[in-house]
Each structure stands twice: as structure tokens, then as C-alpha cells.
Amino acid sequence: MDNTKGILGTREFFAILIITIGTKLTDNTPSALFEKVGSGAWITIILMCLISIIPIYLLTKVITVFEEKNLVEIINHLFGKYIGFIVLFIIWLVETYSTVLGSAVYADIIETLYFVQTPLFILYIILIGVAAYGAKKGIEFIGSTAWMTLIGLNIALFVVLITAFFQGRINYLFPILGNGMVEIIKESTTNASIYGDFLYLGLIATALRSKNVYKKGIWMGYIYITIVFVLSVIAYNMLFDYISIVQINYPFHEAIRYIQLGFLTNAESLFLPFWLIASFIRFAFYLYISALLFGALFKIKKFEYIVPPLALLIVFVGLIPEAPVFSVFHMKEQFIFFTTPFFLFLPLIIWMTAKFKGELKK
């Protein structure tokens, strides 16, 4: 099924992880958290991180036991032909629908904030078209491009964060607990699937040079993502105040318009290229994973050829909502809520099955 064995090192794997999960800071994800918990959103991220550590640990434990298998092969091995097919089909549906919602949001960002004169469907086609090209080139191309982009993206992000800390107001962080600890706990448990992309990374485990690369990349990425998430949410809060953030769909993009960098009056022109490339990489990875799963389900060895029709399907479905700002955002919130139990309990079920069958003792 997958002939890309042993081609990605730690840095490429780490870069893919950071870009696919870290770019969620640049869409409407922070705004949704502020809407429910107020100024306590950064505490929600910390609790979300602590809750997610259990499924990530269990999944990593199982994947590192099976040296020559990725998550697709492990699921088929543990659950058998029929139950394995059902589990993988659910993962494919969840991942593909997530790609539809995410790409619709990103197309809306590009149209409403940067290219207001260009029709949405044109921008959507370009976004998915470029991503499909990257996915068709394969995971090695995605990994190397992600690593080359990561340095510039991190520089741009930390310039934004540092500037926001200096230009923001610390009193905006109060009250520390926002709308209360009960609400924080509730939101952290119902939104944990924000970390759900860690599940998809197990699907490319055999594309890594060793399972040690997988383990190292997962935990380095987990720590890095959590720190950046917390710092970014604090920076947004200090810059705008949580009351204003609720009215802002995309706080990162408003931040790069708001901050002042001395002689540079048009700061977003410095950050936009890095963000666009990162967005292409993110959806290239999602399309690759969707094609890989589809190929595994229906025994298609050359699954890269499935990328173009999947890209067309995503564009078609993503353009159905007439008002992405409202309908897609609401659908995305519901999606995160319903997929959180799936992300939390599937690794537990996989680990328990492996332990029951004695695979963890090998």
C-alpha cells in the first residue's frame, strides 16, 4: 500500500506536525475558545493538553511496538478484516470532513482579508489545487517543504507574539479564570480533538526512518505546540481583550494588521507568504492522508492517483455552504464536539486490544 518507507527524518516529521496542528492558531479556533471561557482561554489550552496526553501516549506506545507497521496495518492486525475496515472508514470520514471544513475556513480567510475582489470559488480551487499537487508529489515532498517553511513561519509567528506582548495590556488577562473554572473544564474536555491530528500522524509511521523518529517527533511537537498555543492565546488576549476577540473571526490576521513594526507599515505583507505556504502544506498533508486511507480501504496500491478526485470532492462539498462565516464555523464547532470522544477513546481501545492479545509484550 505504502512504498515510502524510511524517507522522513525527525526534522521533516516535526515540521509536518507543527504546521498541520500549529496553523489552527491562525483560523477561528482561538475565537471559539474565547467565546465560551473569556479571558481563561489560555488555561483551557493547558487542560486540553493534559487531557490529550493520555491518548497520545497510548497511541505512541502501540505504534512503537509494531516496528514495520503504520496505524492502518496495526488496526487491521488487531481488529481483523471487517471491524478494521469499519474503524478505518470512520477515520477516513472524520479526516476528510475535517479537511472540507478547514479548507472552507481558510478560503474564507484569504477572500475576506486579502483578496476581496476575487471570487471565493476561484480562491478555493487554487488552495486545494496547490495542495493536491503537493499531495500527489508524496510525503517526502510534503516533509521537505514543511521543514524549509517552518523556520520562516516560526520567525514570523514569534515576531507577532513578542510585538503583541509589548504592545498589549496585561490587565486584559483578568479575570484569570474568565467565565469560571467549571466552564474551563467543560470546554477543555469537549474541544480536545483540536489535538486530534496526532492520530493521523500514526498513518505515516512507516514513512519514517525509525520508530524512534516517530516517538521523538511526537513528544517534541506536543510540547512545542502546547507552549505556542498558550503564548498565542495570551498574546491575542493582551492585544485585543477577550470581548473584542469574540467579534473577530481571525485574531492572528487582525494581529498582524494591528501591530506596528517601526518603519514597516504594512506588516501583513511580511507574514502572508509564510502563512499561505503553511496552509498549502497543511492541506497537502490532509489530502495525502485521505488518499492513503481510501487506498487502504479499497486495496488501491497507487493511492496518490486518488488525490485529484478527492480534491474535487472537497471543493464541491466545501462550496455548498452559502455563508462560511456563520454556517461553516457552527459546523466546525459541532464537529470538534462530536469527534473529541473519538480522539480520546480510539487510542485507548487500540491499546487495550493490543494488550489483551499480548502484542505489547513482544
Percent of the chain with pLDDT strictly greater than 70? 94
pLDDT, tens only, 180-231: 999 999 999 988 888 999 999 999 999 999 989 999 999 999 999 999 999 9
What CATH fold (topology level) applies to the domain 10-361? Amino acid/polyamine transporter I (1.20.1740)
Query: Contacts by 28-31 with C-beta closer than 8 Å and gap 24+?
Result: 28/105, 28/249, 28/250, 28/329, 28/332, 29/194, 30/232, 30/233, 30/236, 30/245, 30/251, 30/252, 31/245, 31/246, 31/248, 31/249, 31/250, 31/251
pLDDT, tens only, 28-84: 888 888 988 999 999 999 999 999 999 999 999 999 999 889 999 999 999 999 999
d(CA 174, CA 83): 49
Average pLDDT, the chain: 90
- 66: Cβ–Cβ under 8 A, 6 or more apart, which residues? 73, 74, 77, 359
pLDDT, tens only, 286-325: 999 999 999 999 999 899 999 999 999 999 988 876 555 5
Is there a contact between 237 and 173 (Cβ–Cβ < 8 Å)? Answer: yes
318-327 burial, b at 16+ Cβ within 10 Å, e below that, comes to bbebeebeee
DSSP per-residue codes, 282-327 = HHHHHHHHHHHHHHHHTT-S-GGGGHHHHHHHHHHHHT--S-TTTH
pLDDT of 106 above 70: yes
27: left (phi over 0), alpha (psi -120 to 50) or beta: beta
Residue with cell 500527489: 136
- 221: Cβ–Cβ under 8 A, 6 or more apart, which residues? 14, 17, 18, 21
Percent of the chain with pLDDT strictly greater than 90? 64
> Across the chain, how many H-helices and E-strands are there?
14, 0
Residues in the chain: 362
pLDDT band at residue 159 under the 50/70/90 scheme: confident
What is the reported pTM? 0.94
pLDDT of 266 above 80: no
Mean pLDDT of 106-122: 90
